[in-house]
Structure 1
């Protein structure tokens, strides 16, 4: 396994201008990262098309892999024109992934308000989601790219829903970017969910959360799960997720791919990212 960082972990520094994405690549390598996952937040390829080649060059100079390209998308739409336009937009993002030289790309699939995330609604939306993901996976296949859905956004977040989508898309190059923490957003036990979805994973995110029950509102900085419990992002290894147990499961499965730290806590992003990578490496040695 290769431990690295999602550039999203450094979003606050990228957004404020404290750090550029090129500097983030070097920073990740300097702090032991073996790869960096590119998430275009805090920088914009449309505004600076040549940035793609700059990123590739910098990664080569730093001796670090570009592991994955992760973007947002939503195939829930009111009309066919918007639906088709979103598919075409994501195909253009596949071309960016190819220019980055990656063989893995995560795109979102759908987002709905919590009160619209019933299983009935999921089943109604599923055919169009399957069709969109299949078309994009087929387009990505010409570049040797595996596309994936991440378990997030409340609607396509539970392990069974992720599996259902993957199985219906039925393409060898459509899998899941499995975030070990995000299952908690839909009140699913992360250990059980990881065991279920690990065979479908093309990429793994290590994330940690603090968890509090619904009757104990901790106040600012927390958000609620679908059942009303409270979560707050934590440095990997500091929260309530049994990281060591999950890493042991991943290690024993034979998974040898990329593992990205995804930090979204309240601490300084550089500090949280550094400690998270250090902890992940140490935990892997211990299990």
Structure 2
């Protein structure tokens, strides 16, 4: 389907458009009084079905609220708008409990995509392969979430350190856990604070280890993070040593950022790998 946000939303929703603000994502005010968000994924083929499937999969009872998918067609995704608000301690505690509920809904396997989601998905502007496995999390994390991005980063990284991490992952990973239902790209920019609490947007959803979502929250900072983590741990206690495994779980997003942006992210990824080996 071709056309801009206004024309596309009118076609997909069958409602006239009053005003469009921004480009992509665009804020679209409808003639019936609603305001929706329209995102164009033409630059990232497959991103629209991946995101739509992820949002639907993450919409679980008692989990964090996510925008409703109103339409997804070809390169356009239309969702409900999250009202703007401010972070608070109460909302953070609620987010921690709801994240525990989301993760507890589980996934078919490590690496599994949401139902209807493509095998070749995206995390930000980087490709991410979602293929279910019967291997352990440590084996899958090494081959599907560390090794491909170390290769893609080329000479920016100390590859010997990452080889050590991958070889030692079974002993570094902590106790075995079942696959959790992950948001997958849970940095602070994908947590929107509204008057009724924290919402999650822009997922890279897949089956993984629940500590990965929590480690990503810590990577770029989140208001009231300690409150989020305490409420999570009270609701669904984390395995002993989870705090020391944070750098291990941060390797994936840091490697993605190294591939996309280079620069200081390579140094951060190297430092995280060395920290993971010290656990």
- TM-score class normalised by the smaller sequence: under 0.3
Provide TM-score, normalisation by structure 1.
Answer: 0.26
Provide TM-score, normalisation by structure 2.
Answer: 0.26
